[in-house]
Structure formats: structure tokens, C-alpha cells
Amino acid sequence: MKLTLKIWRQKSPKDEGKFETYQLDNASQDMTFLEMLDAMNEKLISEDKDPVAFEHDCREGICGSCAMMINGKPHGPGKEITTCQLNMKAFKDGDTIMVEPWRTNSFPIIKDLVVDRSAFEKIMEAGGFIDVDVAAVPDANAYPVEKHKAEEAFDAAECIGCGACVAACKNSSAMLFVAAKVSQYALLPQGKIEGVQRAWNMLMKMDELGFGSCANTGACETECPKGISLAHIARLNREFIKAGFTKLAGEKR
């Protein structure tokens, strides 16, 4: 396959950056998208040019680090896949492919296609933990959980924190990410101790870090590589309202 690649190049966070055009003549439809970028970087290195910086780790759709916009879509064409799972069969010989990083102030660009997603970690630090008794391992039956609640909690826990929801949202909202992290605890007994404060703390941190409010368009669910449901945002809102009433009741005492 012969491809024309228009890739965002930016040397550092302080540089303006721009799109640069590259030609790749030896791409194969059997490659993944990241393998294609590897082949392009080998070509650039052989020409004594600076290779394109992009982030990756597991290449199995688990770590969420391969975050990039491909032809205007988070993780590129395809349903419920990450960039590393995107196969070059999705493109045709002669195609022009535009590749750029997430576009949001909360994920500042480090270099080229690499962005700083540590804002997600700060949101998790604000409330993504549970208090447990450190002693002997409890019996599995000590915490009875309804099957449908357990399954919904596991579905929420599939979130890999890639940031596609933020990139897809016109307001750069992190509501789907926060909702998934709140849901995976709110549905299980182990998460009840901090339940009142968790949603409040995480949403306050989300606002502090510059993420926008929910746009209610559903773009986040559509582009999520794990198919996290908008229903979790509804639960997050309920948890947040409960936290607000609890805080108000405490202030009136």
C-alpha cells in the first residue's frame, strides 16, 4: 500500500507545532496502525530525520496509552477498538491519513502525538480508592452482590482511561471516565464507605483540572473503545446529588 500521512509534529509543549506530510510506499494491510507508524519511523531514521513520537505499551487494547485522532476520530475508524487494535485493512491503497493528538487543554501535548494524561490520575487520587480491613482474606460469601450489579460494575471497570471520551466531546468533558470509576465502586459493597464523598471529590477535581461539562451528545459512548454506557453518567449524577444533600445536612447541624 502507498499512503500519504499528514502527522502533527510538535517538538515540545511550548512549540506551536504543525502538520507534516510523509509518503509511505511499503505499508501492508496485515499491519496494525502502530506497526505502520513503526515502519514509517524506520524510514525517517534511515533518512536521518527525527522519528514521530507516539505512546504505546501493551498493544493489546488494555493500557489506553495509544491515544491519537485518526482522520478526525479518536482511535480511528472502527467500533470499540483502540489505535493499537486498528488494522490497516480499514484503509485503501493511495489513502491520505491525518494523525493528530488529543485536542484538549487538560491533556497538554508533550511531543508530536504524545499527550500528558496525568489529569486522569489526579481525578482517581481524589476519590478512586476504598477503605478495607487489612487482615485475613474474607470469605467470598461475606459480601453478597446481586449478579446484575456485579456485571454492571465489571462493565464500568473496563474503562482504560485512554481519554477518547474527552477527545470526542465538544466540551472536552471527562464525565464518562469519572462515571465509570464511580460506578465500579458504587455498585459494590466495598465502595460504600467513601460513597458519599467519592462522586463529589472526583467531579470537583475534574472541574479544577479544566475539563468541561457533559455535552449530552453521546459522542463519548460512541467513541469509547470499551463501550462504556451513558447510564453510568446518570448514576454519577445521582451519587453527586446524594453527596450534595449529605454535605448540606452536615452544614446545618
Last residue of a domain, one of 74, 90, 111: 111
CATH number at residue 50: 3.10.20.30
**Is a pLDDT exceeding 60 seen at residue 253?**
no
Residues 105 and 201 both lie in one domain: no
- Domain span at residue 211? 118-252
Which pLDDT score, from 0 to 100, does residue 204 have? Answer: 94
Cα 225 to Cα 73, 96, 167, distances in angstroms: 12, 23, 12
Which pLDDT score, from 0 to 100, does residue 249 have? Answer: 59
Residues 139 and 239 both lie in one domain: yes
Confidence category of residue 160, pLDDT binned at 50, 70, 90: very high
Question: Which pLDDT tens digit goes with each residue over 82-96?
Answer: 999 999 999 999 999
Last residue of a domain, one of 111, 132, 155: 111
Residues 47 and 162 both lie in one domain: no
User: For the chain, how many structural domains are there in total?
Assistant: 2
Which pLDDT score, from 0 to 100, does residue 141 have? Answer: 73
Residues 96 and 139 both lie in one domain: no
Residues 210 and 165 both lie in one domain: yes
Q: What percent of the chain shows pLDDT beyond 90?
A: 81
Question: Which pLDDT tens digit goes with each residue over 93-141?
Answer: 999 999 999 999 999 999 999 999 999 999 999 988 777 666 677 676 7
Residues 87 and 157 both lie in one domain: no
pLDDT averaged over the chain? 92
Question: Which pLDDT tens digit goes with each residue over 190-204?
Answer: 888 788 789 999 999
Residues 106 and 139 both lie in one domain: no
Last residue of a domain, one of 84, 111, 138: 111
Q: Check the CA dihedral 43-45-49-55 and report its sign.
A: positive
